Amino acid sequence: MTVVDASSVSRPVADDSSAVGRVAAWFTVADHARLGRLYLATVGVWLLLVALLGALLGLERMDSTAALVDADAHVQMFGLYHYALVMGVAAPLFLGIAFLVVPSLLNASTASFVRLAAFGYWMWTAGSAVVVAAMIANGGPGGGDATGVELYLLGLGIAIVGVLCSAVSLAATVLTRRNGATLDGSSVFVFSVLVSTTGLVLTMPVALGTVIYLWVDFANARVAFGGTGLMSTWVAWLFDQPHTLLFVAPALGVLGHLGAVAARVRQPLRGGVLVGIGLSAVVVVSSVTQRSHPFAVGDSPVDTVGSLVPYALFHLLPLLAPLIVVALALLALKAGSPRLVAPFVPAFLGVGMILTGLVGTAVQMIDSTNLQGTVFGEGALVYVVYGGALGAFGAVAYWSTAIWRRVLPAGAVLGVSLLGFVAVVLAALPHYVAGFLDQPAAKASGYDDAGLRGLLNGLSALGHLAMALALLGGVVVVLRANSRGAVTSTNPYDTAEVTQ
């Protein structure tokens, strides 16, 4: 497969050497490659914020009687932390990578509706800034300031519109700019982007409608949705599994692609990979009911089956998506002549972490485990989001020649990937264990922190700090490659045997 340099097929921009002209070019962006870089840079800031917030909250929870920050701010800190994980990192992460890579993979000159996509980026950025301001003003779910709560809903709605606009652009790009190529003949990554963005086009309007209802109710009687106390329950599905799988589904496409590249052979069951990725689309159904579906053994077989069916649809079926892709990537390695491809490592580890998070959610939703309402759910979310970040790093490392015309050093890619993997496990696994110890979710005080709980929270804080280091390490690797690496448009990992 030959990857066309994204910068060579981008829509031309005005050549203005002045400082004002350079700044204006970014604010009036109408170029898909530049838009992708904007997304990645902003997501990097959000990921750093997530890691620092996670570390701070972990330290807070080590001792529930001590406070590094005012205890009254804990509600806003947890609210911002969850928003940053999902809407700050997971939702826009692969949108940025797709704008950088998908048009070149399709041999298209630009993305469809690129100005709509740019509008989406600025809407998402502005909405996220409003959310941060609302949290500072004691708004957000459970906030005590009415104006701040309304501001939070406004920002969340704007950010949702932004993600929706960019998703529409990418879905249209894949559907209309294939230059005669069939969809099943396109790159596995391109197919995964279509699955993800199509799902977002269907679910984001539902989320927006819910936010509008919440705002109308809160600004008036506050009886239909329960005010701030129950506000978060109505949009919880947007910030939780299985819906988050839609945001990170392109990570499955990255692994599906790199599995064949590492094996130096065409994927033996390419159709199976496409089916596995396509199963991510079943998550769209989660927006219909907008509530969780736990499994509980009923008083009769009929009651038990009635609980099992929706549980299986919402929590077991989505598990098959990453499981199938991982299995078929390993099958490709077995069938071919495997070689060490550095970007394959973060892609494989990332999808493995996503699978671990989905498994955790499925376990949590079994009533008899008594894990609902504990930090176990936070661990599952961290697994999915940080796993998606690892997969995204694999994509950036593999397509670096299309993005910057530079090759990222294999050793540096492996080092950052392994640090990131350790960071994910340290940040998330302690929450799994603490969940079985009944540590409550979204609380930094008012619970028993004796014994193992304090140690687990400390390990989680260490994991978040390690993720911050991994992020900074990845940035350094990219900057060093751009300043010292040789310019090339040839992907060193591509071989003639592999056609994706």
Instruction: Express each pLDDT in 322-343 by its tens digit.
Output: 999 999 999 999 988 898 899 9
User: What is the homologous superfamily of the domain 6-11+30-484 according to CATH?
Assistant: Cytochrome c oxidase-like, subunit I domain (1.20.210.10)
Compute the C-alpha angle 416/190/422, nearest 5°.
Answer: 20
Over residues 103-129, mean pLDDT? 93
pLDDT exceeds 90 at position 436: yes
Over residues 78-90, mean pLDDT? 96
Over residues 39-50, mean pLDDT? 97
Name the maximum alpha-carbon separation found in the chain: 75
Compute the C-alpha angle 180/181/186, nearest 5°.
Answer: 155
Highest mean pLDDT among 53-62, 330-339, 342-351, 479-488: 342-351
pLDDT exceeds 50 at position 437: yes
Q: How confident is the model at residue 8 (pLDDT cuts 50, 70, 90)?
A: very low
Q: How confident is the model at residue 10 (pLDDT cuts 50, 70, 90)?
A: very low
What is the C-alpha to C-alpha distance for residues 239 and 109, in angstroms, rounded to an integer?
A: 35
Say if residues 321 and 245 touch (Cβ distance below 8 Å): yes
pTM as predicted: 0.93
Over residues 452-470, mean pLDDT? 94
Q: How confident is the model at residue 445 (pLDDT cuts 50, 70, 90)?
A: confident
Closest C-alpha among 296, 319, 291 to residue 306: 296
Question: Residue 118 region, left (φ>0) first, then alpha (ψ -120 to 50), else beta?
Answer: alpha
Over residues 33-52, mean pLDDT? 96
The predicted pLDDT at position 66 comes to 64
The predicted pLDDT at position 19 comes to 67
The predicted pLDDT at position 120 comes to 96
Please give the mean pLDDT across all residues of the chain. Answer: 88
Domain ranges of the chain: 6-11+30-484
Is the peptide bond between 242 and the residue preceding it cis, with omega within 30 degrees of 0?
A: yes
Instruction: Express each pLDDT in 167-209 by its tens digit.
Output: 999 999 999 987 777 777 788 999 999 999 999 999 999 999 9
Q: Give the other-Cβ count within 10 Å of 117's Cβ.
A: 29
CA 361 to chain centre: 16
